[in-house]
Every structure is written in structure tokens, then in C-alpha cells.
Structure 1
Amino acid sequence: MPEALWISFAFVLGLLVKGVGLPPLVGYLTAGFLLSGLSSATGLIIESTEVLGHIAHVGVLLLLFTVGLKLKLRSIISPEVIGGSLLHFAITCLVLTPALHLLLALDWTTALMLSIALSFSSTVLAAKVLESKRELRAFHGRVAIGILVMQDLLALAVMSLAAGQTPSQWALIVFGLPLLRPILFRLLDASGHDELLVLLGLLLALVLGGYGFESVGLSSELGALVFGAMLANHPRSQELSKSLWSVKEVFLVGFFLQIGIGGLPDTQALLFAVAAGLLLPLKGVLFFFLLLAFRLRARSGFLSALALTNYSEFGLIVASIALPQWLVPLALSVALSFLVSAPLNRIAHSLYERLAKRLGRFESDKHHPDEQPISLGNTRVLIMGMGRTGTAAYDWLKESEPRLMGLDSDPAKARKHQHEGRNVVFADAEDTSFWNGLHMPSVQSVILALGDIEGKLIAARSLRKMGFRGYIVAHTMFEDEAHQIREAGANDAYLTMNETGVALASHIRNLAHPAPTTQPRQAD
């Protein structure tokens, strides 16, 4: 039964890989290759079946839908996204096409299509890595996702031209989709918090977005992304995203398995993949300098470029239509790029810390408006991370502490807080250059309410490194992380669930023993 082998190999390899500090998806890829080798050695039929193909496709659609839920169109329509993606695409094709034509003796059409396939970066991998680090809404995350969306649109155009097909006349209906947004908002409000919410997400991602777009000659992946983006401004969009999280993760395993099970390559395919792997650093370097040309800081350019330093599953789709004979070499190139990119992105922040001085030399004197250094003025209490925990802390303190400020790495979230009357500004606490340009002469206490452990560690270390001697407190879900945060310089780190229990118990105690009230004196 092939399904039993898929699940067993995926779990065992994912667990082993996670144990050595790599993302589980690397284990899923390895499991696919091992299954392919096992099939060749024993004669067992373990090939990628139609069922696995459907599972993989559903996982990709759900991932893109959840990415869409976190997208703001204004973050895509920006010079660095449009200019960076188009320039990278053009330069890659102009350089690689003649090189492939000369080195591999290919005709110009084949060389051009291969260059196009290698120019794209993986939406699936980049979104997965950024999401796992909770950086989809950080500035560099939004830039990377915006470029990936532009690349996906380019890929759709190339596929349409290569197939000699154009979208049907009914595709014009897509331009009327914004009119459906009020209806979608009402459906989301009416779906509650349980299984209906999950079913609504599946309906929008797979049926209306996936099948709907496919039926009018458009990409199902684009449809899932568009329907997610249409709900991005709804207050419950993140709840919908979290409700689909486990479903999406399970189906995505099929995507990575499918790549590996596709078959063991021959020597020529292996050599092509190795050569493509050697080109990966050049791809990342080109992205880095293009983003610096649009006034991004070195850190944002580096993190965005690193997320884009891989090859795309869309390249395989292009190859399946225009270059079927190159599908196996490209598949191996994509898989190899995943094996390189995933672990590098996992250590992206610490890697930049080591290279910050060298890379900072290439920055422009004028910086992007979203990346200006700030001064905290007379702020006494600083809250880093304005999610639910940070917002609750802010609202509790604001009555007794007027000199209060919050920081958040999502500009849209910072603007929302400002509109609601909170003193919140955009700043990425994981940005080394942010700390170099920060002035905080009056700050006495800092609350670390950042979403990920790495951000809390960097913030605590940076605060102590710049000479801050005030009180630093953080929260976390796990005892081992609390120990790391204290070692990084925090005075204390509290366990979130423990503190929730204490807070609930305090409400009961206050009800049982209410504070004494002052009785008015009786007149003599």
C-alpha cells in the first residue's frame, strides 16, 4: 500500500531532519528520493500516483490561500517589488540564454525557456519558511512575497504563450471579483469558529479560487492567492489562516514527497542540477543589489534575497508544457535548491549578523521610507511586538504610564494601532541596523512580545549590547525558551499559559474577596 509507505517515510525522515535542526520539509524531500530509490531497487510500485498529485496540489492551493490572507495589495504595488522582479527576470534571461545556447549547444528557444524556468523562485518554499518564522508581514517578508507574486504572474503569461492558449472570454469575470468582497466578509462572519470556518476556507481556496480560475483558463494557484487576498483586510482573516494551518501542513507533505518520488535522475541530469546549484549564489546576489538599488537597507535586502535564492515549482510547470524532456533535470535542480535554501533561511538572521558590517557598505545614503531609524524620545516603557499580547499589555499600562510606545514590524498593523489611538510605530526589532540607529535615552522597561523566539533573543542581546540597564521581560510558551531569553539578557521570561492561569485565578480571588470600599462618614 503506497500511502502507508509515504506516511511512514515522511514522518521518520521529517523527525530525523528536525532533530538536527533542519526544517522537516528537507526530510520530506529526502523521503521522496529514498522511496524512488527503493522502487528502483526492489521493483515495488511506489511512483507518484494521481492521489499524491491531488494531495500535493491541494497543499499548494491552501498555502497560497493563507499567504493571500496575509497580503496587502499596497505592499505589492511598490517600486522595489515591481522593479526588482522585472529587472531580475530580464537580466537572468539576457545572461543565461546565450550561456545555455553556447555551453549546451541548445537552440535559442530551448535556451530561453530554460532561462525563464530558472529565473523564478519558489513561492511554496519561501512562503513556508517566512511563515514558520512569522515574517510574512515583516518588511523583508512582504517584499519577497510581492516579488514572488509578480514572478507567478510572469510564469502564467509564459505558460499561456508556450501552450499557445489564451484565457477564455469568461476570464474577464475576474475583474469583477472585488464586488464579491462584502459577501465574502458576511460569509466569514457567519461561519463561526469551528468546522464551518475550515470548510469556508476550503471552499474559497479549492473550489472558487482553484477550480473557478482553472475553468476560465487561468491558474488555480493564482485563484487561491486572489481569494485569500480579498479577505486580507477582514478582522478574522488570521483566525481563518490558523484554522487551516494543520490541514495545509499535512497536504503540503504530499507536495515535497511528489518532487522526490518523481524518479532518480541520470548523470546528465545530475550534472545540470549541480551546475544550476552553483548559480544559486549569483541569483541571490543579483536580488540583493537590485533591492539595494531601490533604497532598501542591507538587512532587508539580504533577508529578502535569501528567501528568493531557490528555484521554483512554477519552473517545473513551465517545463511540463514547453520542455518536457528537461523536466527531470529541472526537478532535481528545484529539489537541490530547496535543500540548500531551507537551512540557510533558518539561520538567516544570525548569518546576517556575521556579515552586517561587510554588507552595510553597499547601502544607499537614502533609505526606504519604511526603514528609517527612529528615536524613542521620552518613552519610559517600550513594547516590542504589538500582536494580541503586546496590545493587551499596552492597553493595561496606558492609564498609569502615559510615556508608552509600541513597535511592530508590520507597517499596516502599526498604522492600524495609530488609527485606534495607540502610540505605535513601524520598526523591526530583529534588524541590526535598527539598533544602530535607535535612540532611547529615557526608556526604563522593555516588554518583549515578539512572535518568535529568535526575535526575542536578538532584541534582548541588542538591548544589553547598547548599554541598556533597565528591566526586560518577555513571555514564551516553553521553559527551555524562557531559559534562553534570560541568558540573552532579559531579567525574566514568563510562561504564557502559566500567566494566563494566574490571571484567571486572580479574577476569582477578586470576586471572592473584593477590595474594601470607603464608606461615607455619617454626619454628627
Structure 2
Amino acid sequence: MPEAIWITFAFVLGLLVKAVGLPPLVGYLAAGFALSGLATAAGIAIEQTSVLEHIAHLGVLLLLFTVGLKLKLRSIVSPEVIGGSLLHFAITCTVFAPGLYWLLDLDWRTALLLAIALSFSSTVLAAKVLESKRELRAFHGRVAIGILIMQDLIALVVMSLAAGKSPSEWALMVFGLPLLRPLLYRLLDASGHDELLVLLGLLLALVVGGLGFEAVGLSSELGALIFGAMLANHPRSQELAKSLWSVKEVFLVGFFLQIGIGGLPDQKAMIFAIAAALVLPLKGLLFYFLLLAFRLRARSSFLTSLSLTNYSEFGLIVASVALPQWLVPLAITVSLSFVLSAPLNRFSHSIYERISHRITRFESQKRHPDEQPISLGNTQVLVMGMGRTGTAAYDWLAPHDSRIMGLDSDPAKAQTHQKEGRNVVFADAEDTTFWEGLHMPELHSVVLAMSDIEGKLIAARMLRKLGFDGYIVAHTMFADEAIKIREAGANDAYLTMSETGVALASHLIDQAGLQSAQVRKPV
């Protein structure tokens, strides 16, 4: 039973790499190569099966669907996304194609297709890393995902041209998909909160988006992403994403295992992969300077570029269609880039803090509209993170203190709050340059309602470092995180579920307690 072996190796190596602070996906890749090496050394029949291939494909579709659920398409249709992706693609192909032609003695068609395959960055890895750090909605996360979507569209065009195929005339129906949004909203509302919600997600990601797009000659990955994006503005989109979390994670293990189990490379493939890994920093540098040219600050350009400094699984798909003889070398190249990129992205913020003094000098003096510096002015109460918890806190406090402000790292969300009458502006608590220029002369209270623990810790530390001696309160799901938040400088950190229970009990006392007092008789 090969599935038992896959699960065992994936769990053991995933646990080991997590113990040293690396993302488990690095362990899943290592598990695949370990299985492949075991098969070669001991003659054990461990190989890819149609089951593993199918599981891997489902994992990719579900990942892209959940990424779509968190996207606001209007926020990725921007000059830095469209211009940055197209310019990077054109420059990479212009430089790499002649180099591969001369160094590897290839024909021009092969050299060009190989350069194209190496120009893409991994949607799966970048989305996985950004999601694990809860940075998909942050400014640099949205720019990275937008560029990846553009690259995926380019890859689809290249595959169609290389295969000599074109989408059927039925593919034009895709332009009418927005008309289905009201129906999709009704289905989401009617699905409830249990297994029907999960099945709806699977139906849209795998059947309607996946098989539906394949039936008209388009990519199933693109279909899953589009159907997720169509639901992104629905109030329950994040509930749907959470309901699919475990299913998606299990299937994605199959994707990373599949890469490694494909087989150990020969010497030429290893040399090619190592050489490609050595030029990988050039890919990140090109992204960095292109994004600076579009007026992004050094921090956003660096974090975006680092998440894109890898090679893509779409390159393998292109190779399977047009360059089958290069599939194994490219698979090793992609795997090696994952191993290098994943840990670097895990420590991206601390890396930037160490080198920021060297790379900020390349910044443009003109700032991007999404990155204007923030002044708190006469604000007395600050709510950081305007999700459900932050919004509830803001609405409760606003009648008591009109000088209240909310901050959120999603510009689109900040705009929505502004339209609803709230004083909310864009700011990223994890942006060190934001704290450097912060002016808060009358601030006396701060509510930390961000979704991730890292943002709360940074905010608490920076507020105290800047001399703020007012009251800081936060919420969290876990007791160990509450301790860390208090150690970082917060006065109080409350457990979300415990406070919910206290609130329910308070309502009970207010209502039932009064009634019982009325019927109580003296002894």
C-alpha cells in the first residue's frame, strides 16, 4: 500500500523540518526525494501513481481557489502588477534565451521555451508561504499574487501555442461568468455552516472551475482561481476558505511528494539545477528594481521580490507539453528553488531589517498611493486590524470617544470602512518604516486586533519603544500567545473564546438574574 509509505515519510520529515523552524513543505519535498532514493538503492517499488498525481492536482486547485477567495481583483489590476510582470517576463526571456542557446548548444525554440519556463515564479509556494504568515491581504502579498496571476495567464498562452492548440469557441463564455455571481452568492448563503459548505467549495473549485474550464480548452487552475475570486466579496468567503483548510492541506502534501518521487536526477540534471539556483538571486533583483521603478518602497519591493524568487510548477507544466526531455532537470530546479526560497521567506522581515540601510537608498522620492506615511494627529484611541473583532471594538468605542482611528494593512478594506463612515486608513504594523515616522501626540489607548500574532508582537514592542505609556490591549486564541503579547509590552491580552463565554454569561446575569430576583422569596 504505497499511500501508507507516503504518509509516514511525509509526516516524519515534515515534523523534523518544523522542529528546526522551516515550513513543513520543505520536509514533504525531502520525503519525496527520500522515497525516490530508497527505491533506487533498495529496489523497492515506490513510484508515482495516478492516485498521487490526482491528489496533487486537487491540492493545487483547492489552493488556488482559496487564494481567489481572498483576492479583490480591483486591487491587483494596477501598474506595478501588470507592468512589473510583463517587463520581468520580457527581460528574462531576452537575457536567458541567448545564454541558454550558446551555453547548452540548443536550438532557438528550445532555448526560448526553457527561458520562458524559468521566468515564472511558483504560485503554490508563494501563496502557501504568504498564507502561512497571513500576508495575502498585506500590500506586498497582493502585489506578489497579482504578478503570479499574470504569469499564470502568460503560461497558459505559451502552452496553447506550444501545443498547437487553442481554446474552443465555448471559452468565450468565460467573459459572462460575472453574471453568475448572484447565483453563487445565493448558493453560498443556502449552504449553511457544515458539510454542505465544504461540498460547495469542492464543487466550484474542482468541478465547475476545474473540469469546466478544461472542457472549453482552458486551464483548470485558472478556473479554480477565477471562481474563488468571484466569491471574494461575499461576507462568508473567509468562512468558506477556513472550511476547506484541512482538505486543501492534505492534498497539497501530495503535490510536494509528487515532485520528489519523480526520480533522482543524473549528473547533467544536477549541474543544470545548481546553475539555475546560482542565478536565482538575479531573478529577485530584477523584480526588486522593477517594483522600485513603479514607486513602491524598498520594504514592499523586497518582500514581494523575495516571495517571487523561485521557479514555478507552471514551468514543469510547460515542459510536459513542449519540452518533455527537460522535465526531470526542471523538476530538480524547481525543487531546489523551493528548498532555498521557503526558509528565506520565513525570515523575510528580519532579513529586511538587517539590510534595509543598504537597499533603501534605491527608493524613489515619489511614493506609491498605497504607501503614504501616516500621522495619527489628535487620535486618542487606535484600533489596529479592522476585521470582525477590530470593527466590533471600533463601533463599540466610537460613541464614547470620537477621536478614534482604525488601521488595516488591506487598502481595499480601509476604503470600505471609509465608505461606511469609519475613520480607517491603510497601514501595515509589520512595516518598520511606518513606525519610524509615526506621530501620535495625544494617543492614550490601543486595541491590537490583527489576525496574526507576529503583527501584535511587533506593534506592542514598537509602541513601547517609541515611548508610548498608555493602555495596550489585545486578543488571541491561545494562552501561550497571550503571555508573549504581554511580554512584548501589552497591558492585557485576553483569550478570545474565554471572553466570548464571559460575555454570554454577563448577558445571562443581566436578564435571568433580574427575573430570579423578582420571584425570590425571603426565607
Q: Return the TM-score normalized by structure 1.
A: 0.96
Which residue pairs with 1:13 in the alignment?
13
> Aligned-pair distance for 1:387?
1.0
1:334-483 map, 5 Å: 334-483=334-483
1:238-387 map, 5 Å: 238-387=238-387
* AA aligned opposite 1:127: A
Distance 2:292 2:466 in 1: 26
> Aligned-pair distance for 1:330?
0.5
Which residue pairs with 2:103 in the alignment?
103
* AA aligned opposite 1:373: P
Are 2:63 and 1:93 aligned?
no
Confirm or deny: 8 A CA contact 2:75 2:412 kept in the other structure.
Answer: no
Which residue pairs with 1:35 in the alignment?
35
Are 2:481 and 1:485 aligned?
no
1:138-287 map, 5 Å: 138-287=138-287
Seen in structure 2, the aligned counterparts of structure 1 residues 514 and 296 have a Cα distance that, compared at 3 Å, is farther
> Aligned-pair distance for 1:213?
0.5
Distance 2:344 2:21 in 1: 11
Distance 1:355 1:426 in 2: 25
Distance 1:7 1:474 in 2: 38
Distance 1:507 1:346 in 2: 43
| 3-state secondary structure, aligned to 2:407 | strand
Distance 1:393 1:72 in 2: 25
Which deviations, in whole Å up to 9, do the C-alpha atoms of 1:190-236 show, x marking residues without a partner? 11111111111111111110000001111000011111111111111
Distance 1:378 1:71 in 2: 33
Which deviations, in whole Å up to 9, do the C-alpha atoms of 1:228-272 show, x marking residues without a partner? 111111111111111111111111110000001010011111111
* AA aligned opposite 1:129: V
Aligned residues: 515
| 3-state secondary structure, aligned to 1:257 | helix
Which region of structure 1 is more displaced relative to structure 2, 300-309 or 417-426? 417-426
Which deviations, in whole Å up to 9, do the C-alpha atoms of 1:421-450 show, x marking residues without a partner? 221111111111111222111111111111
| 3-state secondary structure, aligned to 1:441 | coil
Which residue pairs with 1:500 in the alignment?
500
Distance 2:133 2:360 in 1: 24
> Aligned-pair distance for 1:512?
4.1
Distance 1:271 1:250 in 2: 33
> Aligned-pair distance for 1:53?
0.4
Which residue pairs with 1:60 in the alignment?
60
| 3-state secondary structure, aligned to 2:340 | helix
Distance 2:496 2:233 in 1: 28
Which residue pairs with 2:74 in the alignment?
74
Distance 1:240 1:323 in 2: 38
Which region of structure 1 is more displaced relative to structure 2, 272-281 or 154-163? 272-281
> Aligned-pair distance for 1:514?
4.5
Distance 2:483 2:189 in 1: 40
| 3-state secondary structure, aligned to 1:74 | helix
> Aligned-pair distance for 1:142?
0.6
Distance 2:462 2:354 in 1: 14
Which residue pairs with 2:509 in the alignment?
509
* AA aligned opposite 2:421: G
Which deviations, in whole Å up to 9, do the C-alpha atoms of 1:286-332 show, x marking residues without a partner? 11110010000111111111110110000000011111111111001
Unaligned runs of 5+ in 1: 516-524
Distance 2:335 2:132 in 1: 19
> Aligned-pair distance for 1:506?
2.0
Confirm or deny: 8 A CA contact 2:283 2:309 kept in the other structure.
Answer: yes
| 3-state secondary structure, aligned to 2:473 | strand
| 3-state secondary structure, aligned to 1:361 | helix
> Aligned-pair distance for 1:98?
1.2
> Aligned-pair distance for 1:141?
0.6
* AA aligned opposite 2:253: V
Which region of structure 1 is more displaced relative to structure 2, 25-34 or 170-179? 170-179
* AA aligned opposite 2:244: L
* AA aligned opposite 1:120: F
> Aligned-pair distance for 1:144?
0.3
Which deviations, in whole Å up to 9, do the C-alpha atoms of 1:432-485 show, x marking residues without a partner? 111122211111111111111111121122212222222222222222222222
* AA aligned opposite 2:500: T
Distance 1:284 1:26 in 2: 20
> Aligned-pair distance for 1:508?
2.2
* AA aligned opposite 2:26: V
* AA aligned opposite 2:215: S
Confirm or deny: 8 A CA contact 2:48 2:258 kept in the other structure.
Answer: yes
| 3-state secondary structure, aligned to 2:362 | coil
| 3-state secondary structure, aligned to 1:164 | coil
> Aligned-pair distance for 1:28?
0.6
Distance 1:358 1:175 in 2: 46
* AA aligned opposite 1:44: I
Which region of structure 1 is more displaced relative to structure 2, 26-35 or 497-506? 497-506
* AA aligned opposite 2:409: S
> Aligned-pair distance for 1:492?
2.5
Distance 2:28 2:384 in 1: 35
Which region of structure 1 is more displaced relative to structure 2, 104-113 or 323-332? 104-113
Which residue pairs with 2:116 in the alignment?
116
* AA aligned opposite 1:103: L
* AA aligned opposite 2:264: L
Q: Return the TM-score normalized by structure 2.
A: 0.96
> Aligned-pair distance for 1:388?
1.5
Distance 1:191 1:483 in 2: 38
Identity, % of aligned positions: 80
Distance 2:171 2:486 in 1: 56
* AA aligned opposite 1:6: W
* AA aligned opposite 2:41: A
